């Protein structure tokens, strides 16, 4: 594999609301698991400014959505709804894959899919602890958060008959939105 960089390709990062690029100079903007944290109006204004005509914007998001074990398919949705709902803000409307976001570009195409995978119980709990709703709850109510995590872990463990090292089938929900200027 060549380590030479293509002459017409460059990579750069910057704040979403003040992109460090010239007008009409960018072929593609990619935002993964990030769009919901941006100031949308400022970001889209910048995207339109820097994308060249027919330049593309790809916004993707994915998250652990299902434990694909009979009887456990809804445990994560139930956990989120029953325990974390009070920490929900408009920035958490991404759970539906940016369906509520109006992209001010043309040819907006949306796709979603459930991507199968495997995780141990420890992996699942580690991911749940990274959810921003979980982080908020843990910051405000650490004892309650520890309690509900232990309850969830025990519930999943009992379904797995105590085999916590077992790798279980999970579903990562992935959403993609592709649009062009």
Closest CA to 45 of 15, 18, 12: 18
Closest CA to 96 of 65, 132, 118, 126: 65
| Rounded Cα gap, residues 167 and 117, in angstroms | 9
Q: What pLDDT digit, counting tens, does each position of 114-165 carry?
A: 999 999 999 999 999 999 899 999 999 999 999 999 999 999 998 888 777 8
Residue 2: which pLDDT band, with cuts at 50, 70 and 90?
A: low
| Rounded Cα gap, residues 83 and 79, in angstroms | 6
| Helix ranges, 55-163 (H) | 75-79, 121-130, 132-140, 142-159
> What does the domain layout of the chain look like in residue ranges?
26-180
The class that CATH gives domain 26-180 is alpha beta
| Model confidence, pTM | 0.80
């Amino acid at each position: 594999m060549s380590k030479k960089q293509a002459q017409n390709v460059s990579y750069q990062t910057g704040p979403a609301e003040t992109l460090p690029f010239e007008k009409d100079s960018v072929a593609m903007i990619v935002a993964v698991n990030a769009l919901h944290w941006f100031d949308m109006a400022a970001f889209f204004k910048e995207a339109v400014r820097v994308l060249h005509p027919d330049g593309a914007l790809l916004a993707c998001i994915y998250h652990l959505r299902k434990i694909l074990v009979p009887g456990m398919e809804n445990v994560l949705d139930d956990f989120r709804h029953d325990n974390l709902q009070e920490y929900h803000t408009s920035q958490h409307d991404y759970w539906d894959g940016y369906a509520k976001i109006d992209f001010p570009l043309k040819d907006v195409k949306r796709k979603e899919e459930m991507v199968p995978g495997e995780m141990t119980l420890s992996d699942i709990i580690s991911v749940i602890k990274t959810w921003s709703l979980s982080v908020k709850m843990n910051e405000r109510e650490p004892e309650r958060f520890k309690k509900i995590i232990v309850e969830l872990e025990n519930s999943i463990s009992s379904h797995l008959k105590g085999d916590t090292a077992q790798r279980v089938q999970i579903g990562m929900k992935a959403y993609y939105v592709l649009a062009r200027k």
